[in-house]
Amino acid sequence: MTTAEQTVTDWLFEKVGYDPTQGGRNQYQKKILSAKKRFKLVAGGEQAGKSVLASKSFLENWFDDQIKFEGRYGDGTNEPLLYWLIGSAYGETIKEFMYISDDLVSLGQPIQASKRVDPGEILLRFPREKKPRLRIETKSATDITKMSKDAPHGIIICEADQVDLIVYERAQGRLTPHNGWLFMCGTFEKSIGWYPQLWEAWQSGAEDRQSFSRPSYSNYSMYPGGRNDAKIIELERNSSDQFFMERIEGRPVPPKGLVFKEFRADLHIAECHYEQGEPIYIGEDPGYGAKSAHAVEITQIIDGQIRIFDELYYRGLTTEEIIDMVMKRPWWKEKAGSGIYLTSDPHYRSQHHSMTSVEEQWFSQAGIMSTGERIRVNEGDERLRQFLKPDAFTGKPGVIISPYCTGILSEFGASPHPLPPYQGQTLVYSWKIDKDGNVIGNTPEGLNNHGIRALEYMIVDHFGYGITLGKQKIRVKRW
């Protein structure tokens, strides 16, 4: 940041009565605000002042955008600079909406702010000018269809840990036309889902994206003693290590024993859709058992990359019901059963869940044959790891998953479990661990891996094993 930029920033903050260092004691806010990154993720402890920080980040970015888009947006003649405040519900945007409104008034800007935020709008318009210079809109994550029309210049996602991954994906897509900025803030809880995974992935600050933690005790107005404040010391003494780390320090504590630590929300999750004319490859794991899910992962292979664009992930349904649901998918009508290849575990294909085997049910009901071989768990997991790895030249992984496929994503730890009675809980594919958190044995638990296994059946059937330790002969199919 140049001296001139520092002067302007200091002037802006002084005009609105904001001191990011709180008298020189707080370096957390200054570090976050001064980082010139297009995408920022701030994990804050409780009462850390995340909403205030978000509003001040808006001021900085808005000033920069006026220069960046001069003559194209925000000059009273052309369309205004557009910004969104997104929350899991409209109510989650209230604090940021009010702080930004108050700051603009303090700067002497002629704004019109709605009294409600459901939805809410702030307009900045000078007298006798044709169009407003600035428009700020609130958005609710309950209706992402309203996030598909315009291309904002910047977005703040309020309490981002409470919104679904698809909201982040949609926000990222809408920012692309103007190369806009994104500021997300939230508090970790259970350290499960896409938000803590992004925090981990962005820690390095690479590729114009960076994550930060702002502990509760960095708010010296609330805790004058900082880390050694008596209230913080007492809270640390009377709470679990995980609670203190997540809710006070603003740092994630991932579930112990994750099998696929290589999985990254920012790398392996992306909006992908059915590509017309391309073959469809289905992986299935019926997952018999009271706690098991019947997983059907629907994929296409585009430019060598497996793209999971659809999924069926249910418990308690018969195979006939699952097949019927598959055949009602829009892409099925186009293919009409041709150009669709099904892979599943032969052990399940031959089992009789009703009067006929799973394999016979697919053929008689849908007209497609099932292929695939029995694969050992560790070999299947190792093959999948090879596809999760980014390509050395393109940087793209061999597998991406639509954010709508929450079943398999929950197994990777990128989403809460989607099915009752465990809906919202943390159920991930894990190694067996003892009471002290140490891994036991060489084979993971055979739970919470049905979407993963379905994917592995498909990979091994169509691509072979690749390089697997302990095999003298390596079967590899080339596509």
Q: What is the pLDDT of residues 232-266, one digit of tens each?
A: 999 999 999 989 999 999 999 877 888 999 999 98
Does pTM top 0.85 for this prediction?
A: no
Residue 189 to residue 333: CA distance in whole angstroms: 42
Res 262: pLDDT? 92
Res 350: pLDDT? 60
Is 470 domain-assigned?
A: no
Average pLDDT, integer, range 203-227: 93
Q: Which of 222, 249, 276 is a domain's end point?
A: 249
Is 260 domain-assigned?
A: no
Split at pLDDT 50, 70, 90, the class of 415 is confident
Whether 166 contacts 404, CB under 8 Å? yes
Q: Do residue 230 and residue 316 come from a single domain?
A: no
Average pLDDT, integer, range 414-435: 88
With a pLDDT cut of 90, the percent of the chain lying above it is 67
Residue 472 above 70 pLDDT? no
Residue 471 above 50 pLDDT? no
Q: How far is CA 383 from CA 263, 307, 386, in A?
A: 14, 16, 5
Q: How many domains does the chain have?
A: 2
Residue 217 to residue 26: CA distance in whole angstroms: 10
Q: b or e along 363-379 (b: 16 or more beta carbons within 10 Å of the residue's beta carbon)?
A: eebbebebbbeebebeb
Q: Which of 190, 219, 249 is a domain's end point?
A: 249
Q: Do residue 160 and residue 284 come from a single domain?
A: no
Of the candidate ranges 82-86, 106-110, 315-319, the one whose mean pLDDT is the lowest: 315-319
Q: Do residue 230 and residue 272 come from a single domain?
A: no
Q: Do residue 125 and residue 240 come from a single domain?
A: yes
Is 431 domain-assigned?
A: yes
Residue 226 to residue 48: CA distance in whole angstroms: 11
Burial of 268 (0-12, 13-18, 19+ CB in 10 A): buried
Q: Do residue 62 and residue 139 come from a single domain?
A: yes
Q: Do residue 60 and residue 107 come from a single domain?
A: yes
Res 306: pLDDT? 98
Q: Map tokens 């935020």 to a residue.
A: 117
Average pLDDT, integer, range 409-427: 89
Length of the chain: 479
Whether 52 contacts 19, CB under 8 Å? no
- Structural domain including 270 reads 266-463
Residue 348 above 70 pLDDT? no
Q: Do residue 315 and residue 409 come from a single domain?
A: yes
Residue 125: count other Cβ atoms within 10 Å of its Cβ. 18
Q: Do residue 178 and residue 214 come from a single domain?
A: yes
Res 332: pLDDT? 92
pLDDT tens string 427-445:
899 998 887 778 888 899 8
Residue 381 above 80 pLDDT? yes
Is 473 domain-assigned?
A: no
Q: Do residue 192 and residue 53 come from a single domain?
A: yes
Residue 147 to residue 137: CA distance in whole angstroms: 11
Q: Which of 214, 249, 284 is a domain's end point?
A: 249
What tokens does 136 get? 């700020």
Res 479: pLDDT? 40
Mean confidence (pLDDT) of the chain: 89
Instruction: Count, in order, helices (H) and strands (E) of the chain.
Output: 16, 16
Q: Do residue 127 and residue 85 come from a single domain?
A: yes
pLDDT tens string 118-158:
999 999 999 999 999 999 999 999 887 788 789 999 999 99
Which residue has better confidence, 190 or 81?
81
Residue 253 to residue 201: CA distance in whole angstroms: 14
Q: Do residue 455 and residue 329 come from a single domain?
A: yes
Split at pLDDT 50, 70, 90, the class of 468 is low
Is 239 domain-assigned?
A: yes
Residue 463 above 60 pLDDT? yes
Split at pLDDT 50, 70, 90, the class of 473 is very low
The CATH number of the domain holding residue 309 is 3.30.420.280
Residue 162 above 50 pLDDT? yes
Is 255 domain-assigned?
A: no
Q: Do residue 224 and residue 317 come from a single domain?
A: no
Residue 466 above 90 pLDDT? no
Average pLDDT, integer, range 43-71: 95
Q: How far is CA 113 from CA 21, 50, 97, 146, 154, in A?
A: 29, 22, 9, 20, 18
Is 256 domain-assigned?
A: no
Is 341 domain-assigned?
A: yes
pLDDT tens string 326-341:
999 999 987 655 689 9
Q: Where are the alpha helices (DSSP H) in 369-434?
A: 377-388, 406-412
Split at pLDDT 50, 70, 90, the class of 36 is very high
Residue 457 to residue 146: CA distance in whole angstroms: 38
Q: How far is CA 88 from CA 141, 144, 277, 332, in A?
A: 5, 10, 37, 33
The CATH number of the domain holding residue 28 is 3.40.50.300
Residue 305 to residue 271: CA distance in whole angstroms: 14
Res 434: pLDDT? 83
Could you give phi then psi for residue 465, rounded to 5 degrees? -85, -20
pLDDT tens string 265-315:
989 999 899 999 899 999 999 887 767 899 999 999 999 999 999 999 999
Average pLDDT, integer, range 213-237: 94
- What's the one-letter identity of residue 298? I
